[in-house]
Amino acid sequence: MRSLLTRISGLLLMPVLLLACAAKMHQAGEIELSNVKRVARVTGKPLEGENLPDPNNTSEKYDVGGTDLGIMWDMGNNKTGIFFGDTNGKDFKPQKGGGNGSNWRSNVLGFSSDNELEDGLTLDSMSLDEQGRAREICAGAAANPVPSDYYTSIPTGAVHAGGADYVHYMNIYKWEAPKGRWLTHFSSLYASYNGGANWVREADVTFKADSRFSQVCYAKKDGYVYMLGTLSGRGSGAWLARFREKDILNLANYEYWNGNQDKWVKGDENAATEVIPAPVGEASLLYHEKYKRWIIAYIYDFHHDANPVVKRHALVYRSAKTLTGPWSNIKLITTAKEYPGLYSPYMHPLKNKGDKIYFTMSLWQPYNVFLMSADINIK
């Protein structure tokens, strides 16, 4: 009888032990992305022979023929905001790549409530001018021309904080500079206090040209907005800051992570120490609720790595249990061999609970934005 009871107890305990073992492996493992696919076109119009869903027809509907980026953020109420970069009109020629065509705008903005992304990302609308064309939000050279000094205002990250929406942007006057840099006058914020309808610059939050937060990506957790930043360009490492949502316009209350002291330092950007090594290009940040991991995805420019992971441009990612690290080794999403001219992976903020993530990817030659997907797991 005792032997039988022992066997029964062992059988009853086995599922519990298996679950505990699986939980331990889940806790110890690292994020793995696989089965990377191009799902659909987000902007522009299809190329000859292209066989991808095209739900938006932005060229004809919004005069967005060529554009890039596709920075997404959660605006609340199941609504996603999407910022795009330098944009040209419907006469844009994709064979020539970026920077051709009429009606140049430094940035444009779309909105989407589409969270069923298997067949593409549908835009509900874009922010329009009086002629019904997508309008510039962060003022750049199109709005304020300076004959001796070209400049454009490029979004880098966006967030909903304290009931308002904010976009961080960099004001660039030179794209090609040494050490993977883009040269800026400054970086700053625009804010919308009415759900993205109108935007105003918040000049109190201005980062200097050599700031470690010239480009940023945002994510929210536990009452804080976290901000990973880099120098402008694709050659630097990344630094970490945080602030309460209510303090987004108060730079004095920003806190910067100092790994040497193992603490947050208030009000002193120079105290920030590197949390992710160079080179880190334009990036997005996501906390995955199912796998309890932070994920950063970014463009990797091998020219600025002393020991290149791959000798091509690539989209890469790292993961971590905590934002302060340690972060995993760099891992490939995909490379320019599969998608020539690729850059700017921006993860969809509402797709953080399942076994698949979605992100936008820009391609230079057609100079447009595409929706991508990848399976996610822990190994």
Is the pLDDT at 123 greater than 60? The verdict is: yes
Q: How many domains does the chain have?
A: 1
State pLDDT tens for residues 42-60: 999 999 999 999 999 999 9
In which domain, by residue range, is 348 found?
Answer: 33-378
Residue 24 belongs to some domain of the structure: no
| pLDDT score at 147 | 57
| pLDDT score at 33 | 98
Q: What is the CATH number of the domain that holds 369?
A: 2.115.10.20
Mean pLDDT of all residues belonging to the chain: 93
Is the pLDDT at 203 greater than 60? The verdict is: yes
| Burial grade of 232 (CB within 10 A; 0-12, 13-18, 19 or more) | buried
Length of the chain: 379
Residue 104 belongs to some domain of the structure: yes
62 vs 147, which has greater pLDDT? 62
Residue 195 belongs to some domain of the structure: yes
Residues in Cβ contact with 103 at an 8 Å cutoff, skipping those fewer than 6 apart: 63, 87, 88, 89, 133
For residues 175 and 154, the answer to whether their CB atoms sit within 8 Å is: no
DSSP assignments along 170-214, one per residue: EEEEEEEEGGGEEEEEEEEEEEESSTTS--EEEEEEEE-TT-TTS
Residue 7 belongs to some domain of the structure: no
Is the pLDDT at 290 greater than 50? The verdict is: yes
Residue 22 belongs to some domain of the structure: no
Q: What is the mean pLDDT of residues 238-250?
A: 98
Q: Report residue 365: phi and psi, to 5°.
A: -65, -50
Residue 28 belongs to some domain of the structure: no
Residue 23 belongs to some domain of the structure: no
Q: What is the mean pLDDT of residues 182-191?
A: 97
Torsion sign (Cα): 159, 163, 165, 168: negative
Residue 26 belongs to some domain of the structure: no
| pLDDT score at 201 | 98
Per the structure block, which two tokens stand in for 69? 């980026």
State pLDDT tens for residues 4-29: 444 545 544 444 444 444 444 456 68
